[in-house]
Amino acid sequence: MPGEYQSGVNTELLRLKLESHGDVDIPDKVKNVSAVDSDAPLDVAMPADAIIRIKNLKKVFGDNVVLHDVNFYCPKGHVVSVLGPSGSGKSTMLRCINLLETPTAGEIWFEDQLVNSKETDVDHLRAKIGMVFQQFNLFPHLTALGNVELALKKVRKLSKEQAEAIATEQLEKVGLSDRADFLPSQLSGGQAQRVAIARALAMEPHVMLFDEATSALDPSLVRDVLDVMRDLAKSGMTMIVVTHEMAFARDVSDHVVFMEGGVVYEQGTPEKIFDHPDRERTREFLQGMID
């Protein structure tokens, strides 16, 4: 929906200035959205029913500030693609969402739950927020079926029969019924990645995070994985997808977030970001991807 994700920065500043006639202090969080020049929407503009809301997220490793101030949200059923150069903080941001990294400051909301809170049950959170990595992370000693069954038995405490039934169904959905008894070493990269997707889906996640799920694959195998991701998006799954696959980002996304230097440098509809980005570095990045 055009304008749905519109940044609240300018309108909110304007409203405060108009209301205050210029003589009331404007809160810092409104004035200085980030130390770096960002296009981040403010929390005032974030709908409370978005399934993921990231507000003023900061992540520091030692004295290296990797995420300065990241703000965006993802409504239920939408696909948000995250683009940006290497080192811009895309993986770190994604890993903060399911607490593979602990945010230094800011807030991450999953549905009505503050993720970076002491009360968070991490296993429960990760069951609801599925994640697929570049390097599959399958257990090498377990078959495809065994990999998909594992968390069903350990986290969801299902019986062997129930776990097997769900795992079998999920493998079928990603087109791998005939590979259920294969070990990861006997699968192609594309097949292994589809097992990883089936494993995440088996937990019935409310949102799926993909971190360059096709980057490690031989070009001939990329399509099968992207097809599974496209079908998933069509089925209404909420997805946040870090990707270098520009055609996928353009066709499948409802919203595109461009990260640069640890901030959301520009964001908008795929049409806006790909066809007429407002900002220099977005244009340069996209041009570089085409060349």
Ligand X SMILES: Nc1ncnc2c1ncn2[C@@H]1O[C@H](COP(=O)(O)OP(=O)(O)OP(=O)(O)O)[C@@H](O)[C@H]1O
Quote the least distance from Cβ 284 to ligand X, whole Å.
Answer: 16
- By CB under 6 A, what part of segment 82-101 binds ligand X? 84, 86-92
Q: What letter would DSSP give residue 104?
A: S
Q: Is the CB of 7 or the CB of 88 nearer to ligand X?
A: 88
Counting residues that bind Mg ion (by CB under 5 A) gives 1
Q: Is the CB of 64 or the CB of 185 nearer to ligand X?
A: 64
CA distance 84 to 101: 19
Residue 91 binds Mg ion (CB under 5 A): yes
Residue 8 contacts which entry, Mg ion, ligand X, none (Cβ below 5-8 A, type-dependent): none
Q: Is the CB of 134 or the CB of 188 nearer to ligand X?
A: 134
Tokens linked to 226 = 């992207």
Residue 61 binds ligand X (CB under 6 A): yes
Quote the least distance from Cβ 189 to ligand X, whole Å.
Answer: 17
Contacts of 214 (CB under 8 A, 6+ apart): 193, 222, 225, 226, 243, 245
Q: Is the CB of 163 or the CB of 249 nearer to Mg ion?
A: 249
The torsion angle over the Cα atoms of residues 40, 44, 48 and 50, rounded to 10 degrees, is -10
Strand arrangement of the beta sheet that strand 207-211 belongs to: 113-114, 105-110, 52-61, 64-74, 263-268, 255-260, 79-83, 238-242, 207-211, 129-132
CA distance 152 to 30: 44
Quote the least distance from Cβ 185 to ligand X, whole Å.
Answer: 25
Tokens linked to 250 = 């353009």
* Site track 226-265 with ligand X (rule: CB under 6 A), x = hit: ----------------------------------------
* Site track 17-56 with ligand X (rule: CB under 6 A), x = hit: ----------------------------------------
Part of the chain binding ligand X (CB under 6 A), chosen from 81-89, 155-163, 219-227, 245-253: 81-89
Q: Is the CB of 93 or the CB of 226 nearer to Mg ion?
A: 93
- By CB under 5 A, what part of segment 235-274 binds Mg ion? none
- Helix 219-234 × helix 189-201 angle, to 10°: 20
Backbone angle region of 97, left / alpha / beta, with phi > 0 → left and psi within -120 to 50 → alpha: alpha
Quote the least distance from Cβ 64 to Mg ion, whole Å.
Answer: 15
Which of 279, 255, 277, 280 lies closest to 268 in space, CA to CA? Answer: 255
Q: Is the CB of 66 or the CB of 174 nearer to Mg ion?
A: 66
Element (H, E) at 210: strand 207-211
Contacts of 16 (CB under 8 A, 6+ apart): 24, 26, 30
> Would you tell me which residues interact with Mg ion (CB under 5 A)?
91
> Would you tell me which residues interact with ligand X (CB under 6 A)?
61, 64, 66, 84, 86-92
